[in-house]
Structure 1
Amino acid sequence: MQIKKIGDLKRVYFIGIGGIGMSALARYFHSRGIAVSGYDKTETALTKALVAEGMPVHYEDNLTLAPKDADWVVYTPAIPAGHQELDYYRAEGYAVMKRSEVLQQITESSFNICVAGTHGKTTTTTMIAHLLRDSGYGCNAFLGGISANYNTNFWSSEKDVCVIEADEYDRSFLKLSPDVAVVTAVDPDHLDIYGTEEQVRQAFADFAQRLKRGGLLIRKLGIGRELKAERMWQYSLQNDSANIYAANIRIQDGGYVFDIVLPTQQIEGLQLNMGGMHNIENMVAAVAVASSLNIDAEKIKAAVASFKGVKRRFEYMIKQKDLVFIDDYAHHPEELKALINSVKTLFPQKKCTLIFQPHLYSRTKDFAQDFAAVLSMVNKAILLPVYPAREQPIPGIESNTIAELMDGGDPVLMTKEALLTWIGDDVAQHREKEFGEVIVTAGAGDIDKLVGPIKDRLLK
């Protein structure tokens, strides 16, 4: 069957349209005047937004609701086996593609800035896209999170430049051809896909080899000698062995002021209005990209100051003197460690309660010891049941697998319902008043649905 080119498409159908990467693609096609519709398992704020923008979504795996005139059918690898609609489209010979294959088609002829890493990539991608947009340079952005500045995960531009979050899950990022490749971290993750840490590292080395001729690799200092390129810069938070690093860092109003040393210049007095030392490091990488494109230093500085962050990435939900509530997407031990260290640095006197929803049984099993060590760093750790996503339960693996290994953190297992009761009855009435308290929600599952109710109960 002849697969239609993007310019000839009339209708694209998405199976799993509510995923963060899938919805960015849906918005891309919709922005080009192509009819877009989709299926997802549950209604979310994101699917409601797509419907409001003119993309119908249904929530039942039902062939009568699936369009028969779709030119392309795009699906996410998270869709379980035996999905009726997906099986139908495959059996009938439709052009059925993964998200990564569609991104490959979209970016074949553009100048591509691709950001990869087992953590830090969503924030870094959003920072780069914001610097390019705010400075007037322009770009098309495909993000893995919702930019707080623009309340979307996609935008288009006349400029033939794409900023893309390059996802390592299912080796998707090996379909891309970067002109600039950024690698933020290569810690082991997705071992259900890769099997071993060595295979994860090899995939990132292969990604670096996807650079176009003369392309630039910007990698974090010390994350693997196997990542090589003819042109390479290394960045760091503040290690001056790197080509690019931050200096003279000062904490200010829950954010930071700092300088950045670059290969050809130094930019002084940048102001980042979000928490987390790891976010300074992410911004160092973003400024390196902007600098490589010769964007003016003053424009970069203004864009950094106006960056409002990414939803669910160290996002302040309440910021009062005696009460701070932060929501974060952290779901890997290294991400949780960075999150907790940032909270302790910014609010050293405050009691820290962390509410964590483990994501995937396989990740809980693979990193139980690491999760336990990190969660032991807080004053109180509340563990919700494991969010299974695409997985079936693994016998003997649950949230108490982590709790039993903890030697601090006063761990408590709670259901979502019990948590909301506890927040309303206990925390809101008996919280630490003298030095104040920080409440943090963390996880990549559906814990975000609890953020609004927790905030309401805390403010009451």
Structure 2
Amino acid sequence: MSFEGIHRVYFLGIGGIGMSALARWFQHEGYAVSGYDRTPSALTDALINEGMPVTFEDTLESIPADLKDAQKNSLIVWTPALPKESIQLNYFTSKGYSLKKRSEVLGMVTRNFYTIAVAGTHGKTTTSSLIAHLLKDGGKPVAAFLGGITQNYQSNLILGDKKSKEKSVVVVEADEFDRSFLRLHPNEAIITSTDADHLDIYGDENTILEGFGEFTKLIDKKGKLFIQFNAADRLGESRLPKIVTRKYGLRSEGIRAENIQAKAGSFLFDYVDGDKVIKGLELFIPGFHNVENALAAIAIAIEQGVSDEQVKKGLGSFKGVKRRFEIHVNREQLVYIDDYAHHPEEIRACLSSVIAMYPASKLTVIFQPHLYSRTRDFAEGFSESLSLADEVVLLDIYPARELPIPGVSSEMLLENIQAKEKVIVSKEGLMDYLAKSNPEILVTLGAGDIDRLVPKIAEWMNSRQKLNAV
């Protein structure tokens, strides 16, 4: 299928981070774009302000009039997170509309571009955003479909300059959920991690590794794969493609970081790749895991002709991605960091970095588990990684697309957490609890709706600082 003859595009789940990036691209290309989502959000507000009609009612009446009986020139993009009983989804299916998943459409969009695909169970958004920034800041034509809102561009879509005579390099996130990454056509690829996740889709760890193995086979035979060295070990040599494959990591023998220094608000390091050394790099999105993400991004930027000085400048000006180790308050003995971490390894990476930055301070963590199935499948890992904190506050599980599973709740994590203080509180009671707890270093974690509490928590932390300063 091509987009020839298509005049209007309707998104079922337009408020999703990946869906909204595609919606913005189609609007930029001149299509009439509209959509449905279950609940309003900052993203749907932004899309409405950009001129895209959005409805929040899953009814036939809320479908735009010009979309009805317009099967021949309409494209319906839908997300697998949509319930099967969705009225609109069933209407478009029964009426013979062209329905495509986001991953299919993204594959179609990028088919005619030189594509850099970033895969991995953790680190995709930060790595792809940093690649896009290094290329754009380095004067290279680039377009990027991202899984988060970059602080530099305040968008999940970065577009190339239409005046440029060079064709843009396209950077995309290769999402393993629902095997979406198998629809892409990468020229080069990065794999940041291959930890077990999405077992509701894959069933077991070996099957997800097989999925990543299939993804590597999609890389152009003249292309390259950059893979984190632990991820490569987990994948195994038999699953790696017969193309140039470069390993990277903090302790890798290939592309690596040396002389790492953790500061309050940044990490310093040297980039080393054989005889290639770039010294004195400073990354203002802290974390050992982000240094590792930066290694992959720098390697790609160098491949694309970005100079050492441009790399250094671009890295120093990168402001990060919303909800990826996002520092909201950073004052002496009073710090607030918010992160999207929702997997035990992500939590471990985040908290280990916070401890390295603030080793003498009490660490309080608020965690909202995401999905009943993930909580069940990785309960032991969650309890172990959260035990790095001095104080753990658990919220109820955010169900997302799932119905409750009997016996699965935040309670099953609490018992095995080894923190000095641990408690379960409601979202409604959180602020009262924090007022009594008086945290020093506070971290919020989760992929659900915990982000709606962030502004209130940040405001409260700042007000405490002002009171303490009087």
TM-score, normalising length: structure 2: 0.93
Which of 379, 385, 388 aligns to 1:368? It is 379
Could you list the per-position Cα deviations for residues 247-271 of structure 1 after superposition, in whole angstroms to 9, with x for gaps in the alignment? 1122334202211012562111111
Aligned length: 447
Preserved CA contact (<8 Å) 1:28 1:155 = no
Which of 237, 244, 249 aligns to 1:231? It is 244
- Cα distance in 2, alignment partners of residues 108 and 392 from structure 1: 37
Verify: 1:417 aligned to 2:415, yes or no.
no
Go from structure 1 to structure 2 and tell me whether the alpha carbon gap of 1:325 and 1:215 turns closer, same or farther (over 3 Å shift): same
Letter in 2 for 1:62: T
CA shift at 1:198, angstroms? 0.2
**Equivalent residues in 2 for 1:7-156, closer than 5 Å:** 7-67=4-64, 68=68, 69=70, 71-156=74-159
Preserved CA contact (<8 Å) 1:314 1:328 = yes
CA shift at 1:97, angstroms? 0.6
Verify: 1:163 aligned to 2:162, yes or no.
no
**Equivalent residues in 2 for 1:209-224, closer than 5 Å:** 209-223=217-231, 224=235
Identity of aligned residues (%): 47
Could you list the per-position Cα deviations for residues 138-168 of structure 1 after superposition, in whole angstroms to 9, with x for gaps in the alignment? 2110000110101100021143311001100
Verify: 1:272 aligned to 2:283, yes or no.
yes
Name the SS of the counterpart of 1:143 in structure 2: strand
Preserved CA contact (<8 Å) 2:175 2:181 = yes
Preserved CA contact (<8 Å) 1:47 1:57 = yes
Name the SS of the counterpart of 2:421 in structure 1: coil
Verify: 1:246 aligned to 2:257, yes or no.
yes
Go from structure 1 to structure 2 and tell me whether the alpha carbon gap of 1:263 and 1:62 turns closer, same or farther (over 3 Å shift): farther
- Cα distance in 2, alignment partners of residues 383 and 227 from structure 1: 39
Equivalence for 1:177:
185
- Cα distance in 2, alignment partners of residues 7 and 253 from structure 1: 52
Could you list the per-position Cα deviations for residues 243-294 of structure 1 after superposition, in whole angstroms to 9, with x for gaps in the alignment? 2111112233420221101256211111111211110000001001111122
Q: Which moved more, 1:226-235 or 1:332-341?
A: 226-235
- Cα distance in 1, alignment partners of residues 328 and 259 from structure 2: 28
Equivalence for 2:462:
459
Preserved CA contact (<8 Å) 1:318 1:324 = yes
Letter in 2 for 1:198: N
Verify: 1:339 aligned to 2:350, yes or no.
yes
Which of 340, 353, 357 aligns to 2:368? It is 357
CA shift at 1:199, angstroms? 0.3
CA shift at 1:455, angstroms? 1.4
Equivalence for 2:201:
193
Letter in 2 for 1:38: G
Could you list the per-position Cα deviations for residues 22-63 of structure 1 after superposition, in whole angstroms to 9, with x for gaps in the alignment? 001001101111111110011000110111111111111011
- Cα distance in 1, alignment partners of residues 404 and 242 from structure 2: 41
Preserved CA contact (<8 Å) 1:377 1:409 = no
CA shift at 1:312, angstroms? 0.2
CA shift at 1:409, angstroms? 4.5
Preserved CA contact (<8 Å) 1:192 1:362 = yes
Letter in 1 for 2:316: A
Letter in 1 for 2:301: A
- Cα distance in 2, alignment partners of residues 48 and 350 from structure 1: 38
Name the SS of the counterpart of 2:289 in structure 1: helix
Name the SS of the counterpart of 1:8 in structure 2: coil
- Cα distance in 2, alignment partners of residues 334 and 41 from structure 1: 30
- Cα distance in 1, alignment partners of residues 211 and 159 from structure 2: 29
Equivalence for 1:426:
436
TM-score, normalising length: structure 1: 0.95
**Equivalent residues in 2 for 1:372-383, closer than 5 Å:** 372-383=383-394
Preserved CA contact (<8 Å) 1:11 1:72 = yes
Equivalence for 1:314:
325
